[in-house]
Structures are given as C-alpha cells and as structure tokens.
C-alpha cells in the first residue's frame, strides 16, 4: 500500500507543498542518547554529510583509517538527499588515528571522541528534523490547526514510502524472491523489510479507516512509549485508558514472523481479517526465520515547532522522532507534499531510513 493511498489519521489534506528542492530543505541530526565514554578503542566521528549515502561515507572513513570496511559502524542509515549529522565508530585497537581528519566535498568531520564500544545498528534515541516546505498552498489557520493536532495526538506510525522502493516495487520483488527468484544478498534484507512493513501498514491503514489507530480495542497489545517493551492483552480499565490518552502507552500492530499473533478478541479479529489474503508474504517471512514482533501504531511527534518564513509561502518544521520512525509520515498527515528528489536516484531500493 503506497503512501498516496494510505488514509490520514487526522483528516483530509490541508496543504500542498514541495520538499527537498535543495539538500538544505531536509536536515537531520542524529541523537544517540548517550555520551561517549572518553576511553576505549573505538573512535567516534560525528560527520555532516551532503548528498552522500551512509554506506559510502563509511567506506571512505575505513580507507582513511586504513582498516577494513567492517571496522566502521553506525547506528542507522541516513537519507542521501539531505544534510545530515550522524556518528560513525571506527575500530582502532592501538588507539592511533591518522593525524589529519578526512576531507571530502560531500562530508566533513565535526568532532571526534573515544568510546569503549562500537556503534551497533539501532543504538540511537532518535533524530531531530528541520524541514522546509516550499510553495505551500492551503489556509494557514487550517494548517496550524493540523500541526497542533499532530503535536497533541501524534500521527499513524506508518513505514515510509522509501521502505518500499519506486512505485512500491520492493513488495512485489519480495513475493518473487519468496517464490524462488534469486536475489543477491545486498538486496535481500531490503526486500524482507519491505514485505514485513507492508503487512504492518495494511493493518494500520485499516485501524485508521476505522478510527482506532490511537485507541484501544478489546484484546489489545500495548507498547510502552520510548521502548520496545510490550504487555497485554489485559482487560481495558480506566488506568489503561488514562495512560493511552497521555501517550504513555500505544496500541500495536504486527511485524510478521513465526508464531501466533499475540492480540485477542477484537484486535486479533481485525489483524486476521486484514492479512487473510497475504499468505505469500506471511509464509515467506516465516521461512526467513523471523518471529512475531510488535510495533506501535501511533507515533508521537515531540518538540514540534513551526514558522512561516518571511517573504515566501514557505513553512519550516522542527520536530523529534524516535528511532525507526519516518519524517515523511508527519508530512503525510499534513497533506500532499511532492519530493524534489523522487526519480533522481537510481534503482528501486531505498537509500535510507530516517
């Protein structure tokens, strides 16, 4: 299910705009959520990159350090078509780094610190975004009202379109792969993620259509805000409803794999019905050894601020999202935002996840 067809959780579109006309229109600053230890054999380099993908920058850092690429790690991929700040860890057991920091037109090192461990994938608190929407069309009062809703209620926690490739082709490619088509190892992980994400989005889209994406159904499984810890199902009571309203907990949807779905009652019935015709994807994901997991259906949008830029119909947005969330789904909740870089990159696989 593509982004254009996903239902909006807060109502119809209130604006039309363009984004990423320039790299500077889309800025991301990674928040690791911890401070470097100051000692150890892993050199952390905070890097600003422009128009470069994360994997390529990591290869350049490995070349600079004179080590194998596997000695460089990072917490998450960042968008190529943007200006981003993220941290790389370079394994230097002898604690000796080249005298000069690496330099390139596409990236620069902002600072360095020693740390006791390498950066594993997913080891970040989230990302701070600064987005410029250009040529905004829509009533300002309606747009600001929607932004206030987003700050108060969050948005549906869809996987972003970049997960699914050009025209959603990664999902069809995943089905073909599960049916026996040979796929190289570099692409296989992307296709597995796309298939799993499409099933989650289908369930969430149905919850949005039924008006219960941020409300609890009987038999709900909940996730604690700011963690991956889940609990339930358990009988709905006033305490759970209060915690849900305060965004301390969130209803969840399935990340498909082996095993039984955890929800019961109405929540189980909805997920079973929505995914009944998706046997090829479900079986394929199970054959990959994945196990049933859960993902929050609701995405809180923290620290949301906005301003209209003077002498132009442009709108600047600033907000924070936890790891694994997509800035594009915040824009989707506002309206129709065309991406200036769509179609400029080669291939159908996603460059990055915010």
Q: pLDDT tens-digit profile of 257-292? A: 999 999 999 999 999 999 999 999 999 999 999 999
Say yes or no to pLDDT of 352 above 50.
no
Structure confidence at residue 349 as a pLDDT band (50, 70, 90): very low
In this prediction, residue 5 carries a pLDDT of 83
Name which of 115, 75, 58, 109 is nearest 92 in CA terms. 115
What pLDDT is stored for residue 346 in this prediction?
A: 33
Residue intervals in the chain for CATH 3.30.2340.10: 3-10+160-299
Say how many residues make up the chain: 354
pLDDT of residue 4: 59
Report whether 196 contacts 282 (CB < 8 A).
no
Q: Residue 291 carries which DSSP code?
A: B
From first CA to last CA, the distance across the chain in angstroms is 20
* Residue 74 pLDDT > 60: yes
pLDDT number for residue 312: 80
Architecture of domain 3-10+160-299: 2-Layer Sandwich (3.30)
Question: Dihedral of CA 127/132/136/139: which sign?
Answer: positive
Catalytic residue among 31, 79, 214, 314: 79
Asked whether the predicted pLDDT for residue 82 surpasses 80, the reply is yes
Contact between residue 190 and residue 349 where contact means Cβ atoms under 8 Å apart: yes
- Of 189, 220, 188, 186, which is closest to residue 203 (Cα–Cα)? 220
pLDDT for 308 beyond 90: yes
**What per-residue confidence (pLDDT) applies to 345?**
41
Q: Transcribe 207-264 into DSSP letters.
A: HHHTT-TTSPPTT--EEETTS--EE------HHHHHHHHTTSEEEEEEE--BS-----
Confidence bin at 344 (pLDDT 50/70/90): very low
Across residues 216-224, what is the average pLDDT?
97
- 4 catalytic? Reply is no
Looking at per-residue confidence, does 310 or 212 come out higher?
A: 212
Least confident of 227-236, 249-258, 343-352: 343-352
37 vs 40: CA distance, rounded Å: 8
Query: Confidence band (pLDDT; 50, 70, 90) for 100?
Result: confident
What is the Cα 203 distance to its own chain's centre? 17
Distances (CA, A) of 196 to 145, 171, 245, 278, 321: 34, 9, 28, 11, 21
Could you tell me which CATH class the domain 34-115 is placed in? Answer: alpha beta
Distance, CA of 35 to CA of 13 (rounded, Å): 40
Does 342 have pLDDT greater than 70? no
Q: Where in the chain is the domain with CATH 3.30.2350.20?
A: 34-115
Main-chain dihedrals φ then ψ at residue 132, nearest 5 degrees: -110, 120
Confidence of residue 94 (pLDDT cuts 50, 70, 90): confident
**CA 21 to CA 5: how far, in whole Å?**
24
pLDDT in tens, 133-167: 999 999 999 999 999 999 999 999 999 988 888 77
> From CA 322, how far away is CA 48, in angstroms rounded?
20
Backbone CA torsion sign across 344, 348, 352, 354: positive
């Amino acid at each position: 299910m593509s982004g254009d067809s996903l239902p909006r959780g807060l109502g119809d579109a209130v604006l039309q705009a363009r984004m990423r006309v320039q790299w500077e229109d889309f800025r991301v600053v990674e928040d690791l959520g911890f401070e470097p230890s100051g000692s150890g054999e892993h050199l952390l380099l905070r890097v600003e990159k422009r128009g470069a993908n994360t994997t390529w920058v990591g290869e350049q850092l490995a070349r600079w350090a004179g080590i194998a690429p596997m000695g460089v790690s990072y917490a998450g991929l960042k968008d190529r078509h943007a200006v981003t700040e993220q941290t790389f860890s370079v394994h230097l057991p002898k604690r000796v780094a080249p005298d000069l920091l690496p330099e390139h037109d596409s990236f620069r090192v902002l600072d360095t610190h020693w740390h006791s461990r390498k950066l594993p994938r997913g080891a970040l608190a989230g990302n701070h975004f600064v987005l410029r929407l250009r040529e905004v069309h829509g009533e300002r009062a309606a747009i600001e009202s929607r932004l206030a809703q987003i700050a108060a209620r969050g948005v549906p926690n869809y996987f972003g379109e970049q997960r699914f490739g050009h025209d959603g082709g990664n999902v069809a490619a995943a089905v073909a792969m599960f049916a026996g088509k040979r796929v190289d190892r570099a692409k296989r992980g992307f296709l597995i993620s796309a298939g799993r994400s499409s099933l989650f989005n289908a369930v969430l889209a149905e919850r949005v259509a039924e008006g219960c994406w941020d409300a609890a159904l009987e038999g709900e499984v909940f996730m604690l805000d700011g963690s991956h810890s889940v609990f339930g199902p358990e009988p709905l009571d006033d305490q759970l409803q209060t915690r849900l309203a305060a965004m301390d907990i969130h209803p969840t949807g399935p990340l498909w794999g082996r095993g039984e779905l955890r929800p019961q009652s109405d929540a189980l019935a909805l997920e079973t019905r929505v995914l009944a015709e998706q046997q090829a994807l479900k079986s394929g994901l199970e054959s990959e050894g994945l196990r049933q997991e859960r993902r929050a259906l609701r995405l809180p949008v923290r620290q949301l601020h906005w301003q209209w830029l003077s002498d132009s119909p442009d709108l600047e947005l600033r907000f924070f999202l936890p790891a694994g969330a997509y800035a594009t789904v915040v824009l989707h909740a506002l309206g129709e935002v065309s991406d200036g870089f769509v179609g400029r990159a080669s291939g159908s696989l996603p460059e990055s996840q915010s």
